[in-house]
Chain A
Amino acid sequence: MLTVPAVLLVSVGLLALSLPHHFRTLNPAIARRPDQFRPIALGLRLCGYTLMLVSIALSARQSGWALGLTYWCGWLALTSLLVALGLSIRGLVTRSQKHRSLTR
């Protein structure tokens, strides 16, 4: 039951990190250097999209195509929301740490 959302969460997380804006929260140095970031982003996207296809197939296998796709769309909304919230909270933490080190 939870396999589909778990796979989808990883997939959406990888796809989010393939964007420089979000990768910056993990590693700002690499995210600012396109030559270093580009191959990483390509790898992340490849894994992300593959896992996304796997999650669709798993969902269809669990509940059939009609119900499986309906479920998948719902899980996509939930997992994307979780990733977006996670990234924004992580961003807030990074910003406050930077702010603290500057004021020190």
Chain B
Amino acid sequence: MKSAFRTSMTWLHRWAGIVFSALMFFIFVTGTLGYFHFELDRWLKPERPLAMSLPTTFTPSPELSVFRIPTDRAPTDKGPRTISTAELIRLGVQRLKEQAPDDAIWWGIILPTERNGNFWVEWQPPRGEDGQRPEREAQYLDLSREEPLWVQPRQTGGGEALYRLHWRLHYLPDIAAYWIVGLCSLLMLVGLVTGVIIHRRIFREFFTLRLYRGARSWLDFHNLSSVLALPFQIMIVYSGLLFFALTFMEPIVSARYGDEGVRVFQHEAFPDDEPEPRAGEPAESVPILPLLTLAQRESGQRIVQIYILYPGDISARLSFYLPEPSPAEYQGKPHRIMYRASTGERLEGGTQQYGGAASVEKTLIALHEGLFADWPLRWLYILCSLLGILMIATGILFWLKKRRSRDPTAYATVERFYAAVLVGLPTAIALYFLANRLLPAHWPARADWEMHSLFLGWLALGLYASWCPLHAVWKTQLTFAALAWGSVPVVNALTSDRHLGVSLAAGDWVLAGVDLSALVMALSFGLMARHGSRRSVMATESRRQNLEEVSC
């Protein structure tokens, strides 16, 4: 009885650790994709036009700020075509007047940036009769033809759906997902701190990476990847926990602030300017362009997001959003410049007046999201995230290799599970990209089915891993991954006109970058499959020779 109990506890202990490590791997991989979610969005919406080239110098006047229009056609004698910010805004306002409902809650005008590359308008339709808020609608301006053309891209979860996976876990209720991800983050933080303490020779073995030494190499990889990006790992896990602070500590907030506690607390901690309610009295808006000039002159920065709350109403508010500030600039820094849309009167507010604790929280969250990061810093974020993924994966492989050497059969199920997680997840993400191109473009449920494709594909890979012979499980999973990622640019070329031939020719590196990254992934997985199979053949050969020697 006692022995059975101990056995079942051992099983539970082992599998709790295994599931936790798999979840952390999932959170890190999908979170890493989040650093490029705007870029992935562009690839996942091939109807969007190619990226415009941004003005090289900043000028507050929208008439003088000029974008170059890309074209996938042969160049004309007239030279490159351009359009000013002023003209874009005029076209945008006209489109919003034509398309958005009169009682829309807000209108948005988004100018091209390095990351999104396109100009678009968006609006929030009013709540339906059932009280539900419908999805916002967006239309992109395509200027590659003679006449401006407004396009509505396909329904897709886009890069944001992938990014959201890392804290919403997709099929789970939000609160359950927050608790699971929060607990994983807490354990990870404990693991990072204790890992530094138990690593006795942390300084002596700094920069040490011994290749081709079996389990030793995996441990070196694990130590190296965790130590090199340690400031990033601690920041990302700790700030990740801060996101769930109110979920974890809701009873404390409710005890202090009552039933509406969380809302009141948010209002006190992060005070924001309450907009005037909709008056219901119609009024024309003043022209946006002179106010944009004033706002850009006041801030000294290029403004790319313009929003009008309650458009067409006398109380309508025009907000010019400033670029995301760098960390530690959240106290007293303006984040938007506001005007009354009906009169052009400058409104007070728009400044982040947070207290000390709230500023620390905002700074850490800004560091977590990295929205302020330019291209070099964004790539450094990616590098550190990849080191985090490597840390988890190599930790798992080292653990597995050590136990497998003691008893290979006892850990067969665990090995199959880990193969399906470590290699199956990247393959499933490739399937998400493929589903985006292969599902019918106008199918209303396609956004849901893109995500179902990811999880169904992952399930299928898991089932295959549980059925396939153990010695071939890694090789087959790696081969599938190489094939899946390799087919992403091919399927893109066959199903859209936003393939490498077009994006490279137009110098649209954001779009080309996704296809090129897919090829790099395919190549990496292919090399790993080849290298793994060569080592496996060598191991089989040496085992055979040993057996022959023994029999002789």
What is the interface of chain A, defined by CB distance below 8 A to chain B?
1, 12, 15-16, 19, 21-22, 63-67, 70-71, 73-78, 80-81, 83-85, 87-88, 91-92
Q: Which one of A1, A70, A84, A92 lies within 8 Å of B327 (CB-CB)? A: A70
Q: Which one of A65, A70, A77, A85 lies within 8 Å of B229 (CB-CB)? A: A77
- Residues from chain A with Cβ under 8 Å of B329 in the complex: 66
A92 to B329 alpha-carbon distance, docked (Å): 47
Q: Is B512 an interface residue (CB 8 A)?
A: no
Check A78/B328 contact, CB under 8 A, given A84-B224, A88-B209: no
In the A-B complex, list the 5 residue pairs whose CB atoms are closest, starting with the nearest: A74-B380, A66-B328, A88-B209, A67-B326, A84-B207
- Contact present for A84 and B387 (CB under 8 Å): no
Check A19/B231 contact, CB under 8 A, given A74-B380, A77-B384, A77-B387: no
Check A71/B380 contact, CB under 8 A, given A65-B328, A81-B387, A84-B228: yes
- Residues from chain B with Cβ under 8 Å of A64 in the complex: 326
A65 to B329 alpha-carbon distance, docked (Å): 11
Q: Is B367 an interface residue (CB 8 A)?
A: yes
- Residues from chain A with Cβ under 8 Å of B384 in the complex: 73-74, 77
Q: Is B232 an interface residue (CB 8 A)?
A: yes
A76 to B211 alpha-carbon distance, docked (Å): 22
- Restricting to B277-336, which residues have a CB under 8 Å from any CB of A? 326-329
- Contact present for B209 and A78 (CB under 8 Å): no
* Chain A residue with the shortest CB-CB distance to B209: A88
Having A74-B232, A77-B383, A77-B387, one finds 10 other A-B pairs with CB under 8 Å, namely: A19-B203, A66-B327, A70-B373, A74-B384, A75-B380, A78-B380, A83-B207, A85-B209, A87-B208, A92-B212
- Contact present for A74 and B377 (CB under 8 Å): yes
- Restricting to B499-551, which residues have a CB under 8 Å from any CB of A? none
- Contact present for A88 and B210 (CB under 8 Å): yes
Q: Which one of A19, A74, A76 lies within 8 Å of B381 (CB-CB)? A: A74
What is the interface of chain B, defined by CB distance below 8 A to chain A?
203-212, 224, 228-229, 231-232, 326-329, 363, 367, 372-373, 376-377, 380-381, 383-384, 387
* Chain B residue with the shortest CB-CB distance to A12: B207
A65 to B363 alpha-carbon distance, docked (Å): 13
Check A21/B211 contact, CB under 8 A, given A70-B377, A74-B380, A77-B387: no
Check A77/B232 contact, CB under 8 A, given A83-B207, A88-B209: yes
Query: In terms of DSSP, what is the predominant structure of the interface of chain B?
Result: loop
- Residues from chain A with Cβ under 8 Å of B327 in the complex: 66-67, 70
- Contact present for A73 and B207 (CB under 8 Å): no
A64 to B326 alpha-carbon distance, docked (Å): 9
- Contact present for B380 and A16 (CB under 8 Å): no
- Contact present for A92 and B211 (CB under 8 Å): yes
- Residues from chain B with Cβ under 8 Å of A65 in the complex: 328
A70 to B368 alpha-carbon distance, docked (Å): 11
- Contact present for B204 and A21 (CB under 8 Å): yes
- Contact present for A67 and B372 (CB under 8 Å): yes
Q: Which one of A70, A81, A88, A92 lies within 8 Å of B367 (CB-CB)? A: A70
- Residues from chain A with Cβ under 8 Å of B208 in the complex: 21-22, 84, 87-88
A73 to B329 alpha-carbon distance, docked (Å): 18
A66 to B407 alpha-carbon distance, docked (Å): 51
Check A16/B328 contact, CB under 8 A, given A77-B383, A78-B380: no
* A-B contact list, 28 entries, CB within 8 Å: A15-B206, A16-B206, A19-B203, A21-B208, A65-B328, A66-B326, A66-B329, A67-B372, A70-B373, A73-B231, A74-B377, A74-B380, A74-B381, A75-B380, A77-B228, A77-B383, A78-B380, A78-B383, A80-B207, A80-B228, A81-B224, A81-B383, A83-B207, A84-B207, A84-B209, A87-B209, A88-B208, A88-B210
A16 to B205 alpha-carbon distance, docked (Å): 10
A92 to B208 alpha-carbon distance, docked (Å): 12
* Chain B residue with the shortest CB-CB distance to A88: B209
- Contact present for A19 and B207 (CB under 8 Å): yes
A72 to B413 alpha-carbon distance, docked (Å): 43
A13 shortest CB reach to chain B, Å: 9
Check A21/B205 contact, CB under 8 A, given A74-B377, A74-B381, A77-B232: yes
A70 to B211 alpha-carbon distance, docked (Å): 31
- Residues from chain A with Cβ under 8 Å of B232 in the complex: 73-74, 77
* Chain B residue with the shortest CB-CB distance to A92: B211
